[in-house]
Every structure is written in C-alpha cells, then in structure tokens.
Amino acid sequence: MLKNAAIGSVLVMLAAVLPASAFAEDGDETLLYGRQLRAGEIASACFARRYDKAHLGSHPHQNVTEMRILSYRPDWPQAESIINLEFRFRGVSEAFQLSGGCRPVAGKAKVLDCAVECDGGLFSIRREASGALMVDIPAGLALCDGDEALPAGARFGSDDRRFRLSADKLAACRDLIWDDEIRPKLLQSGSP
C-alpha cells in the first residue's frame, strides 16, 4: 500500500512521463471537482463502483470487482491534484492501492492524462454528461516499475480497460486519504 511518502514525487514524475503538450492548462478542476477552484482552496472528490454478480457474469474477463478513486487538491501553494486509486479483484481479499496525478490534454476538452508514480502505468479520465467518471486503463497498472507486484492472484483481465464510476460521498473514500496532515483538512473542508 502506498502512503504519503512519495506523494511529492508525483508532480516531478508527471513532468517526465507526460508529453509537453499535456501541460497546456493549469488543470481541469471542473472535470474532477465540478467547478474551478480558488487559489489555495482545498478540494476532494470520490468516485466508486462495486460490480455486482450479474455484471461480472456478463464480463467473464473482468477481474476488477471494485474500484475507488479519491482526487484531492491540497491547500499547499501551487498544489496540483493527487489521485489515489484502489482496486479489488476476483478471489483476492487484499486491495491494490496506488497513487498518481493527472494533467489536461491539449486539444481534448474534458480529458485528463494520468500517470501512476514510479512509472506504474498510464490511464486517462473523462466525464460523461451524466456526471459519471470514465477511467481508461490501456495496459494495467503496477507499482514502482513492477518492483511491488499486485496482491497474490490479482491481475487485470482483458475486460479491465474501461471503468465507469459514479460520484460518491467523501466518506466512501476516507481510507484513501493517506496523508495524515491533509486528512483532517479534507474531512472538514465540506467537500462532498
């Protein structure tokens, strides 16, 4: 499980991983938080989905049974959003957690390109008109160049490429707030 030890490296890693065209804007807070944020404003958003037996039965190559994303922007000067993710897999009791960051894509409105820290993989996020968050993961995700593997028996299947998550209350993502300093601020911020 990743904790707050490497969160600061996320921003440096993004600069190295994402192309320069991805830095066309300062950020698309509207996509993540539903509105532009004021300078220094703290914010959070939680998105989640638990796949039921009917869905998993109709998608036998989907191994992800649950996914949650916590996006938050700390109140640090020039802070950018941090994305913490959690996956649960069929037949595996242990959750797989990782962290990363996102940047807007030049020329693509309402799309964010995201990277998992330590070169753990790429994914993208976009919003549907319904407000659902669409997460595209083209090649699975890992931690720190594969040095830390998925929990035993867990693996991304061929149907684990696109996920539709609904907005949820911050309480549903509370345990994805790994930074002990920011946790009370987020919980008191009044974010949904």
Instruction: Decide if 160 contacts 136 (C-beta within 8 A).
Output: no
Amino acid at 153: G
pLDDT value of residue 61: 95
Tell me the HSE value of 7 on the side-chain side, using a 13 A CA sphere: 22
**pLDDT band, residue 106 (cuts 50/70/90):** confident
Q: Which residue has the higher pLDDT, 152 or 35?
A: 35
Per-residue confidence (pLDDT) for residue 27, from 0 to 100: 52
C-alpha 165/C-alpha 49 separation (Å) is 5
Question: What is the DSSP secondary-structure string of 112-158?
Answer: EEEEETTTTEEEEEEE-TTSPEEEE-SS---BGGGTBPPSTT----T
Quick one: pLDDT band at residue 140, thresholds 50, 70, 90?
confident
Confidence of residue 19 (pLDDT cuts 50, 70, 90): very low
Per DSSP, what are the bridge partners of residue 180?
none
Distance CA 189, CA 183 (A): 10
The residue-averaged pLDDT of 160-172 equals 94
- Higher-confidence position of 102 and 21: 102
What share of the chain in percent tops pLDDT 90? 47
